[in-house]
Structure 1
Amino acid sequence: MPLTSATGVRDGHPTIEVDAARYLGLASKPEHVASRLAITYTDRSFVPLPDELAADWVATVAVPAFKLIRQRQGVQQAFASIGTGVGLDALAAIETLGATRIGITDVHEEVVSTAVTNITRNLRDPFGIALDAGAGDLLSPLHPVALRYDLIYENLPNIQIDDAERIAAERTSSGHFSPRTEPVPDILQMNFLALHYLALQQAPHFLKPGGAVLSMLGGRVPLSLFQEIATLAGLKSEIYTYGWKIQAMPEEIIRGHAERQRDGYGPFHFYLAARLADAFDGVDLESSGARALEIEDSIASDRLAPSEAYEAWKRGEVIGHTFAALRSWVG
């Protein structure tokens, strides 16, 4: 069940209101996006969680990384998002990265068209942003634009399922994906990292010189595998930020990992949220990437197998997982 309820209906779809300053962690009202964001969502995208920020990917994971990139690498004028969902990642990039050229993709046309509406109607100056959007696989919808980007952001689904009916019925653009035909190294395939690898393979054709990809990765597998994705894709990389969040949609996600682990994938792991809160107490964003392996080692004995995490969740425990923002570039 979603943690946030719709506050209205727009164009036949539920719409929620998001306090932009709170959601983006701003000290004052936003400069480029509306103070109150009207965000419409479809059945094919994750519902934003403005009232449960600790479970929301954009607010908890992407936005802090965007701010750090702005601080270290400067303005990212051209920004692309693979699998944009409702478009909040693009709005965050406009506000925090200073982006003025936006490219967005997702696999469903209705998701893309809704994201375009969400982005354009929530800008203070709609004419100040150039927006390219397309439905399709990974970066391919942006091929006709022939534009290169300073930063490509991806937060892609992890769980591959073969059931066509389930693919059709569920929020598959955000949670699951169909089997791929491209060759993917077995170690990445077995650890649910296939789409991230394929995105990194495509990325060099879309990056400006000095540009980078920012991959959002749920830390349900060892950190060492994350940098292996970039290495196998022919890129250099660094763990840019490391942290933790509450597991959103726990029944679906934890149960899905448990099912696939029984099929021989993984192994995967989760944690009690309280243990993660203790482990990350006092860890600042700027040093979190450099300290990632040290922190991972410190909580290794607290890992829960997906089946254990699922049973703990059913008992009322709050379950979390670590995450890493992986920054990759052409070496």
Structure 2
Amino acid sequence: MTGTEIASAHRRKRPRPVRLAPADLLGLGLLGIRTRQVRAALSALGISIGIATLIVVTGIPASSQRALMAELSALGTDMLRAQPIPDQDPPVLLPEESPAMARRIGPVTSVRVVANTHAGVHRSDRVDPGDFSGISVLATRPGLLKAVNGRLRSGRFLGSSTERLPTVVLGSVAASRLGIPQVTGNQQIFVGGHWFTVIGILRQTPLSPDLDRAVFVDWQTARDTLKFDGHPTVIYVKARESQVEAVRDVLPATVGYASWHDWPPVVPAAAVLSGVGGAVVIGVVAGVYPSVRAARLTPTEALATV
């Protein structure tokens, strides 16, 4: 045979590749699982643990961030609180025009006030008049809840329909001390020598704990019934978040009229900022520490802790 014939015969004997059908490929792939079931189960378990670890490591910080942002939003990072220095002799009074002057500040979006009427509050007219139970009676107007991020637990808040009527809303602590867990429509309390009907109870307000120990009365009702003098005690100012610092700088001067009369208003914005900083630190620590600890675990150690 010539060289050409030998090469041609050799090519004819070379095996041709065979393509497996999809069903054959599936059967071949499942062969290892059928014959080595324990090994396949452990491999699947290891992959599942790896995926779960990844989800946990990425999910915890995301959850912490969302919780942190919700907490910061509840604290009211866009709010400032202005009030005179307490326990001054003679007492320091904010002028009645203070809220209107604060509203003239450009970035301010909302202004709400409360005022201490210095009235006594009791569960009934048969209680010792000297027992004030540590509860303050605050005059206010509709819209206060939105300004302080407050929420109702029961009933409703003061509004236009209750203006000049003897109705009150209780803070969470005040309601507990007065023995009124929820509004039923027929509870009354004795305020400043007059009967008032309870129409609402607030949830706890983390931003302003002093409001939890208060009984809220309509502003005009307080002037007519409780002989309230009309001077605000605390001014709650909400501003665009990007302009809070600027508003803080001009707010004392704007309530500018009090300073002219040597009335030193206090804006404790440092307390709000420190609270925000503390919440950020706690959120970071709560998210990073579990993540680092989980990342250091091997699959075997993770299984051992289950």
**TM-score, normalized by length of structure 2?**
0.27
Could you say which structure has the higher strand fraction? Answer: 1
Task: Give the alignment's TM-score, normalised by structure 1.
Answer: 0.26
Give the number of the structure with larger relative contact order, counting CA–CA contacts within 8 Å between residues 6 or more apart.
2
